[in-house]
Structure 1
Amino acid sequence: MPETGTSINRGNRPPRGNGEGLARASPLPTTCCKTMNEQKQDEYPIGNLGLVMIGFALLAIICMLLWFGVSQKEKPTNLDAVTTILGEPREIPPFTLLDHHGNPFTQANLRGQWTFLYFGYTACPDVCPTTLGALTRADRLLRAEPGGTHPKFVFISVDPERDAPEQLARYVPYFNPNFLGVTGAEEEIANLARPLGVVYRRVYGDDSESSYIMDHSASISLVDPQGRMAAVLSPPHDASAIARNFREIASRFEGVSADGRDRAKE
């Protein structure tokens, strides 16, 4: 009979106890007897450098989310898809043209008020009359608002060979007496059209070189009171959308003075 207090170990089973006793009883090396936590640390080593990299990644994600939220708040929310606001207004280089009254038309004429610029020509069969009609209706909608900001409308000919100031004086006021027609040398017209992203070319017919049409962009450029391109309106053009989008864009610039300073901070 075994003595009192002595544990019985039947067979070859190792004695019960903590991990240290198990390690002593086992013929295997002690490295095989690591705890589960120690094994996980060996299999997935992170270390201080890994933690730092994870922290930087999380910080970058947070910064991107904050930037996205702020940028969305800065954008007007009521603009139609056909209207694009430039992230930074685009400077317009010097140019010298003539209006349909025979007066010079330069950069100075684009400063001090909002200006819609549309490029076309008087012999245009469809797009130009349709667009000028939409601009005329938009002009009426904006003028019907007392005390509101009112823009200038300028029609610039891309066909100076046939569109002299006298021709524009007959054509442009037919749509709206408040509109201004502008023409000039081909090089000067290109100097204004190029930074606005307006393209055009002469397409000759089969009859002769005197028979041609002008293939040109149908977009409308909006110039801010500092004489910089601020937005582009793409076709199709709707009078209500033009007026609504202009009000939205102009309200965004209300706190900016003519020299670019924020009046709210002065």
Structure 2
Amino acid sequence: MSLFRCRAQFVPLLRQPLRVARPTRIQYRRAGTSVPPPSPQRNVVGVFSPTSAALFVVVGAGMYFYFTNKKQKVLEEREKERMAKSYGRPNLGGPFSLIDCTATPGSSSNKEDSVPRFTDQDMLGKWSLVYFGFTNCPDICPAELDKVTAVVNDLSKTVPSLPVQPIFISVDPARDKPSIVRKYLQEFHPSYIGLVGDYAQTKAVCKSYRVYFSTPPDADPNGDYLVDHSIFVYLMDPEGKFVDAFGQVMNKEEMAEKIKEYVREWNQ
């Protein structure tokens, strides 16, 4: 056979793709090696489906709000423990005298004062819900006052013989004038008592209730300043003594039931 003919026979073979024989499972076993893992299937691993993605977002949001609420409860309990340990519950509250923004002239217990005033003595004989806030508060104060309104309405229906008076004490004496507080409280319960004083009087009553507030002593009524304060509704018994402090995380149903429980204990 000539050299030309040999090259003609082998050229087609060289043009074919080279195929490498892979060992079979039997050959792997005979060689004493493990069988190679099967190659992954494309349809096994993939991106989130719309349903799983939505479920992931819902679960994440739920966990966020749960732990945020839990943290707020822990902080409020620590604050209440601090008040109880540092000062003692019986010492919370005390004498004060403030302008009664919602009273009519001549209705004050202090007849010598031409301006209606409200004192700690006016709290005797009734259960009182005392909240410290300010009228320029954008969201927290209105929400807490709405909650107190709902609680008072609930108690008036379920326990008609229970006298409960809601009290609002301003921590912003520079801007919260009596006329402003009076108009502001009209949006809430009609029995709300609105109280204001000068800076020294406000500081004194806040100190007696262990309330923190950040209003500057020389604040400009027309200025733009921030006010931070403690967010608690204080329950005082008919003797004017502190009973409990309800935090922001406690809803109106829990608050109403807690007050009923305290009233039952008081009556016993």
TM tier relative to shorter chain? 0.5 to 0.7
**What is the rounded CA distance, in whole Å, between the counterparts of 2:150 and 2:140 in structure 1?**
16
How does 1:112-261 map onto structure 2 within 5 Å?
A: 112-202=125-215, 210-255=223-268
- Superposition CA RMSD, Å: 2.6
Task: Name the structure 2 match of 1:92.
Answer: 93
**What is the rounded CA distance, in whole Å, between the counterparts of 1:187 and 1:159 in structure 2?**
12
Given that residues 93 and 191 in structure 1 are in contact (C-alpha distance below 8 angstroms), is that contact kept between their aligned partners in structure 2?
A: no
Residue 229 of structure 1 deviates from its aligned partner by 1.5
- Give % identity: 27
The Cα offsets for residues 227-257 of structure 1, whole Å up to 9 and x where unpaired, read as 12121111214111111111011111114xx
How does 1:67-106 map onto structure 2 within 5 Å?
A: 88-90=89-91, 92-100=93-101, 101=103, 102-106=115-119
Gaps of 5+ in 2: 1-72, 104-114
Secondary structure of the 2:267 match is coil
Given that residues 142 and 148 in structure 1 are in contact (C-alpha distance below 8 angstroms), is that contact kept between their aligned partners in structure 2?
A: no
Given that residues 171 and 215 in structure 2 are in contact (C-alpha distance below 8 angstroms), is that contact kept between their aligned partners in structure 1?
A: no
Secondary structure of the 2:202 match is helix
**What is the rounded CA distance, in whole Å, between the counterparts of 2:230 and 2:254 in structure 1?**
19
Residue 91 of structure 1 deviates from its aligned partner by 5.3
Question: What amino acid sits opposite 1:254 in the alignment?
Answer: N
Question: What amino acid sits opposite 1:197 in the alignment?
Answer: R
The count of residues paired between Structure 1 and Structure 2 equals 173
Secondary structure of the 2:235 match is strand
Secondary structure of the 2:215 match is strand
Question: What amino acid sits opposite 1:97 in the alignment?
Answer: L
Task: List, as ranges, runs of 4+ consecutive aligned residues in structure 1 with deviation greater than 4 Å.
Answer: 80-88
Residue 90 of structure 1 deviates from its aligned partner by 2.7
The Cα offsets for residues 184-236 of structure 1, whole Å up to 9 and x where unpaired, read as 11211222221222101037xxxx98101210111111111111212111121
Residue 88 of structure 1 deviates from its aligned partner by 4.8
Given that residues 158 and 200 in structure 1 are in contact (C-alpha distance below 8 angstroms), is that contact kept between their aligned partners in structure 2?
A: yes
Given that residues 92 and 209 in structure 2 are in contact (C-alpha distance below 8 angstroms), is that contact kept between their aligned partners in structure 1?
A: no
Given that residues 96 and 105 in structure 1 are in contact (C-alpha distance below 8 angstroms), is that contact kept between their aligned partners in structure 2?
A: yes
**What is the rounded CA distance, in whole Å, between the counterparts of 2:189 and 2:164 in structure 1?**
14
**What is the rounded CA distance, in whole Å, between the counterparts of 1:244 and 1:169 in structure 2?**
29
**What is the rounded CA distance, in whole Å, between the counterparts of 1:146 and 1:202 in structure 2?**
38
Gaps of 5+ in 1: 1-79, 256-266
Relative contact order (alpha carbons < 8 A, sep ≥ 6): 1 or 2 greater?
Answer: 1
Secondary structure of the 1:214 match is coil
The Cα offsets for residues 45-72 of structure 1, whole Å up to 9 and x where unpaired, read as xxxxxxxxxxxxxxxxxxxxxxxxxxxx
Residue 153 of structure 1 deviates from its aligned partner by 0.3
Given that residues 201 and 215 in structure 1 are in contact (C-alpha distance below 8 angstroms), is that contact kept between their aligned partners in structure 2?
A: yes
Secondary structure of the 1:159 match is coil
TM-score calculated relative to the size of structure 1: 0.59
**What is the rounded CA distance, in whole Å, between the counterparts of 1:136 and 1:90 in structure 2?**
27
TM-score calculated relative to the size of structure 2: 0.59
